Amino acid sequence: MLFKEALFFTGAAFVTFGGAYVVLSYVADVAVSHYGWLTADQMVQGLGLAESTPGPLIMVTQYVGFIGAWNDPGPFAPLLYGTLEALVTTYATFLPCFLFIFLLEGLDDDLLKELRSRAVPQPFGTHTQPLRLENSVREELTKVAILCSFTLDQVKEMIARDEPMFRELVGPTWQFLEQPTGHWPMFSRPEDLANMLLDSPIE
């Protein structure tokens, strides 16, 4: 169990790109559907836990490692085995980062220059760069906003105040549906969300 989870989390860190939430969606799918280390309900609880604390990636990977070992401790005490697995999971998740650091540390200037010359620029801006929506066609499309953290009245109030984050929500092509889950209704209430979208008058 320890080796299998360590290998999985090291591999997940190697093959996933795009940040913590890309890794978490992959981990959730494989840990629940493929390996069966924990149930879907337990996975949702782990994701909710991660959203309430800093460091969602490592929090969820530790949680998956702990619960997986707790559910199948073998001859060991569940608490001891779960704690050990959480530590192994943490180490395995960060192992590729250390490997890249150590492997690239010994490169000389010529090799580093070669790497930079072959690098492909990132095709999209980072989260620190402003996002500019310039295609006017988007204004003609019918759009829907699922309101999970704000009520409809709060959203309308912020639109009326011309809050910068809500300026894009102005216009007759926008429709608003309330789903007061707080966050991530696709995990906490997926059936309700699907029915809401199916029953909406949007074409």
Are residue 21 and residue 111 in the same domain, yes or no?
Answer: yes
Q: Where is pLDDT greater, at 106 or 77?
A: 77
Contact 21, 51 (CB under 8 A): no
Rounded to an integer, what distance in angstroms lies between the CA atom of residue 179 and that of residue 182? Answer: 8
Q: Which of 35-39, 112-116, 129-133 has the highest average model confidence (pLDDT)?
A: 35-39
Are residue 38 and residue 96 in the same domain, yes or no?
Answer: yes
In a domain, 112, yes or no: yes
Are residue 40 and residue 8 in the same domain, yes or no?
Answer: yes
Q: What average pLDDT score do residues 1-25 get?
A: 75
Q: Which of 72-86, 115-129, 158-172 has the highest average model confidence (pLDDT)?
A: 72-86
Rounded to an integer, what distance in angstroms lies between the CA atom of residue 41 and that of residue 51? Answer: 16
Residue 154: which domain range? 136-199
| 3-class DSSP state of 197 | helix
Other beta carbons less than 10 A from residue 158's beta carbon: 16
Are residue 185 and residue 100 in the same domain, yes or no?
Answer: no
Q: What is the pLDDT of residues 187-198, one digit of tens each?
A: 778 888 888 888
Contact 53, 185 (CB under 8 A): no
